[in-house]
Amino acid sequence: MTAKWDGITSSEVLRDDEVVIRHALADAAKQYNWKKTQFILDERPDLINVTRPDGRSLYTPLHQAAHGNAPMEVVQQMVEIGAWRTLRNTDDERAVDIAKRKGHQCLVQLLEPVYKTHISHTTLHKIQIHFHEIILGRAGDLVKKFRLRLPELEPLLEIEQPRMWFPVPGMYGGFSYWLDGEGKNAKLISESWCRVVGGSGQRHEITSREGKLVDKGFV
């Protein structure tokens, strides 16, 4: 199953029941109530990388686990159901950075990212800048209206098949994107569309140098 970048930061975009469950998960993790956290994630593993609606810290359950020195088996379970160890909070910290800062050395090895694809941070960051420009060019009004968190590409490096889907509320579609190649020659392929508008599809190839439109009119 393709991983999803959940860019939702505002409760305005969510149904009431979804707001409730996301707050319940965030509360449980912040209170270091690992039993309740695990119970919610057992029911909704798709929420493993989400943050609190309308929150500022951008802490995921894994960030909280690192902060609260959760039992290793709790952290291991989070990783196994898909917690991204490269995901960063508002302070640009990964879970492993928080564990190191808090002196929770027993969690550091478990929280160190394991990369399946190898691209330098500099190259990936340049690709990400061009990707964000393309997103804003296509759906900038919706990104601003719904306060969406744009996709960060580092988590792709952890995934066996480095592909993700970024749904955009109000677009009736979004962006499917994946990495092609490694090292300096790596590129990101992005396909985006609005499913209620015929021929709205666009495919972009994005390198560290540029993002260019290579196909359009599909979907």
Q: What is the pTM of this model?
A: 0.95
pLDDT over 90 for what percent of the chain? 99
Q: What is the pLDDT of residues 122-142, one digit of tens each?
A: 999 999 999 999 999 999 999
Query: Contact 53/19 with Cβ under 8 angstroms?
Result: yes
Tell me the pLDDT tens digit for each residue of 64-110.
999 999 999 999 999 999 999 999 999 999 999 999 999 999 999 99
The 8-class DSSP code of residue 132 comes to: H
We find that the CATH architecture of domain 3-111 is Alpha Horseshoe (1.25)
pLDDT tens digits for 105-117? 999 999 999 999 9
Give the DSSP per-residue string, 106-119: HHHHHHS---SS--
Q: Per-residue pLDDT for 219 more than 90?
A: no
Structure tokens at 179: 């990495």
